[in-house]
Amino acid sequence: MRRGTGLSSVMNPGLVWALMMAVFMSGDLEILFNQFKYFFNLYFLLLACSQFVPEMRLGPLYTFWVPLGFVLAVTIIREAVEEIRCFMRDKEVNSQIYSKLTNRGTVKVRSSSIQVGDLVIVEKNQRIPADMIFLRTSEKNGSCFLRTDQLDGETDWKLRLPVSCTQRLPTAAEDSDPPINESLSIENTLWASTIGLFDLEVNCLTKILFSALVVVSLVMVTLQHFAGRWYLQILRFLLLFSNIIPISLRVNLDMGKIVYSWMIRRDPKIPGTVVRSSTIPEQLGRISYLLTDKTGTLTQNEMVFKRLHLGTVAYGMDSMDEVQSHIFSIYTQPPQDPPAQKGTTTKVRKTMSSRVYEAVKGIALCHNVTPSYESNGVTDQAEAERQFEDSCRVYQASSPDEVALVQWTESVGLTLVGRDQSSMQLRTPGGQIMNFTILQIFPFTYESKRMGVIVREDSTGEITFYMKGADVVMAGIVQYNDWLEEECGNMAREGLRVLVVAKKSLTEEQYQDFEARYVQAKLSVHDRSLKVATVIESLEMEMELLCLTGVEDQLQVDVRPTLETLRNAGMKVWMLTGDKLETATCTAKNAHLVTRNQDIHIFRPVTNRGEAHLELNAFRRKHDCALVISGDSLEVCLKYYEYEFMELACQCPAVVCCRCAPTQKAQIVRLLQERTGKLTCAVVTVALVSLQAVFSSVFYFASVPLYQGFLIIGYSTIYTMFPVFSLVLDKDVKSEVAMLYPELYKDLLKGRPLSYKTFLIWVLISIYQGRSEVLFYWLNCKLKR
């Protein structure tokens, strides 16, 4: 890549403009197609086109074309307003100012002007404007943390390292894909359209009314004994009776959606709400299944250290001062008894202080946390970093669990004060700095469910391999013990997230042998990942179990009354989480996802078809109980008994899926929609850095003087809007009453206000009213005679 190689040398700007115009024109055609794919609009289009035939003309052409054009214009304007909002959001993002490095120095450019080959300086807390290669950072440790919440919704900080050979960039320019300025979502799709639930129902009711029109027209022609050109008479009767299907219905529906979306955006009880589309607000009243994650949704994703377990003794929040005293006692011992002793035999029983120290030391070293220092107004950043100022230090990590663990080690006396790619520094209670060299680090992955680090203490030369991870994988790695599984279960039942910490001392020869095999595996061309994992697993044997840590993820504010309200409203809430079974069950109880007096059926682990069949039969005999199932058992059930499992699960008042992979969560959402046909709402953790500006439009009609023909053009379009607006703005139940009695929501789930029965009743009422008016008119005329 050559610095300054712009987009003009890679892609012709004229070609880009031509492509944009082509997409815009295709968007216009797609809008018209989306409008006329509804039978409702297609019906009135055919009526308007029939007026070009002289034998079928009932009056001036504008009496049919003007109302149709108005109806389409309202719908298109509504969609255009949403696209304009999207355009304004994109424009706001593309107008952000960045610093670009050129041969003449640093210049300010808009993000929309950044081209392929530009060297861009991204400041702290600034959005990354495009697909970019991380070349250099101002941080001394050569690392950077970023969030990808705009792409995948994950709000955790992710560690990124710069290119090691940045100073020797190649000079050859290479073709590159165009930069992506935003996440690939529906908002970046030109003229994206969504079909609402009411749109489908109105479309079906329109077909029913049209069938009724055909029947009535046939009856009228039959009464005339099919005289003359009876087929033209049928078409003329269809035209005469066309007002039975109100052309203003779509306009009223669109207006109602706009008003509802505006009211949602302006609701003072939910400030900051952004309505991305006004097409489907009515579907919020038809939700039957609510699927939610645990971390960050039901909980705050703010971790607090709660428990340290050493096997024979456990320390809770009320006994952390004892842990602190053990750490202090280690560093107040005589010099001949250092904190970590090399060569002590395993027959000598460790003192409690040394056991606590080894556990805290392992927690303080086995992580991916990086301390950074910021100016606090009194001490500048450089001075704070030099002096390891506590008030200026901020911990950054990809997981809040690790931050909570490191903050806890700081509270008991062992503080992480510095870290870069190759070293770590810990500060003891006495103020001494312990330096460690990072030899290898094995990051956490969802497949491995553990992470490890190999460090060398500079003062003693000891090499230690620390590892922490989930109990399901660590149980086969650590040395045999009789308390790990039981205590993990006990802590998980308290709602704590449990991690197992272990260590293994290595000699210099052992490490050199491992490093040679590890480097050779990483240089392999074929099956590199498998070979690297095999080498690491050779080191993960007979490790010494240090401790168990319990971290609590605090519940969201008012999550309990919220879930109770949703349950009383008739919604079934499913929790899909990656935590272990005991933790997920405890969280479900604490959050009142499962009521206190409700039975819980824990689906036994199954591995084959026969076991799944027996367990499903056992579950079938239970009634009105919540279901708790693990991801492995869920995979087996969906593989062999997909229909049977979904049928039983949908009958449960609540379902908890633990150890659930992201792909399984997506599969459950899809199956619920396909099997039940009911509306499903999935809630995930997406925290935007800053809310985009929201622009709203209100359509209204000013009073205009009447003129000849106004009733013909505007009666079925304008006058019938006012009853609908009164219906939209009218509330049969106050908001306070609706929140107090959530059972009222169950009536909406049944769809009674727009069911076929309700539709038939209103048709019969209209027929009765029409006959009454005709009878009244006939009697009035007869009396006048």
Beta bridge partners of residue 654, listed in sequence order? 573
**What's the Cα-to-Cα distance from 92 to each of 79, 80, 87, 89, rounded to whole Å?**
20, 18, 9, 5
Per-residue pLDDT tens digits for 476-505: 899 888 889 889 888 888 878 899 999 999
Per-residue pLDDT at 755 exceeds 80: no
Active-site residue (options: 118, 199, 293, 401): 293
Closest among 748, 350, 746, 744 to 545, alpha carbons compared: 350
Task: Work out the number of other CB atoms within 10 angstroms of the CB of residue 454.
Answer: 22
Mean pLDDT of 399-425: 90
Contact assessment for residue 307 and residue 495, using Cβ atoms and an 8 Å cutoff: no
Closest among 116, 111, 106, 108 to 128, alpha carbons compared: 111
Percentage of the chain modeled with pLDDT above 70: 74
pLDDT of 128? 84
Per-residue pLDDT tens digits for 603-652: 988 989 999 999 999 998 888 889 999 888 999 999 899 999 999 999 88
pLDDT of 697? 27
Region at 527 (left for phi over 0; alpha for psi -120 to 50; beta for the rest): left
Give strand ranges (E) for 603-729.
625-630, 654-658, 679-683
Strands 599-602 and 625-630: parallel
pLDDT of 722? 57
pLDDT of 425? 92
Q: Torsion angle, CA of 499/505/509/515, rounded to 10 degrees?
A: 10
Structure tokens at 727: 């219906």
Ordered by start, the domain boundaries in the chain are 7-168, 300-342+350-552, 557-677
CA distance 598 to 622: 12
**What's the Cα-to-Cα distance from 185 to each of 94, 152, 153, 182, 663, rounded to whole Å?**
17, 10, 12, 8, 19
User: Has domain 300-342+350-552 been given CATH number 3.40.1110.10?
Assistant: yes
Q: Residues 6 or more apart from 325 whose CB is under 8 A from it? A: none
**What confidence category does residue 379 fall into, taking pLDDT thresholds of 50, 70 and 90?**
low
CA distance 290 to 683: 7
Answer yes or no: pTM beyond 0.85: no
Catalytic-residue membership of 131: no
Q: Which of 166-170, 416-420, 470-474 has the lowest mean pLDDT?
A: 166-170
Per-residue pLDDT tens digits for 549-598: 999 888 888 888 888 888 888 888 899 887 778 778 878 888 888 877 78
Higher pLDDT, 649 or 242: 649
pLDDT of 700? 24
Per-residue pLDDT tens digits for 114-150: 888 888 888 877 888 888 888 887 766 667 777 776 6
N-term to C-term CA, the chain: 98
pLDDT of 731? 65
pLDDT of 593? 86
By three-state DSSP, how is residue 172 classified?
Answer: coil
Q: In terms of C-beta distances under 8 Å and separation of at least 24 residues, what long-range contacts does 384-389 make, across chains too?
A: 385/140, 388/417, 388/418, 388/425, 388/427
Per-residue pLDDT tens digits for 32-78: 776 777 777 777 788 788 878 777 777 777 777 887 788 778 777 87
Per-residue pLDDT tens digits for 432-454: 899 999 999 998 877 788 999 99
Closest among 405, 408, 498, 404 to 449, alpha carbons compared: 498
pLDDT of 156? 61
Any idea what the Cα angle at residue 319 is, between residues 315 and 325, rounded to 5°?
100
Mean pLDDT of 220-234: 79
Per-residue pLDDT at 282 exceeds 50: yes
**What confidence category does residue 87 fall into, taking pLDDT thresholds of 50, 70 and 90?**
confident
**Mean pLDDT over the full length of the chain:** 75
Determine the topology of domain 557-677 in CATH: Rossmann fold (3.40.50)
Sign of the dihedral through C-alpha 31, 36, 39, 41: positive
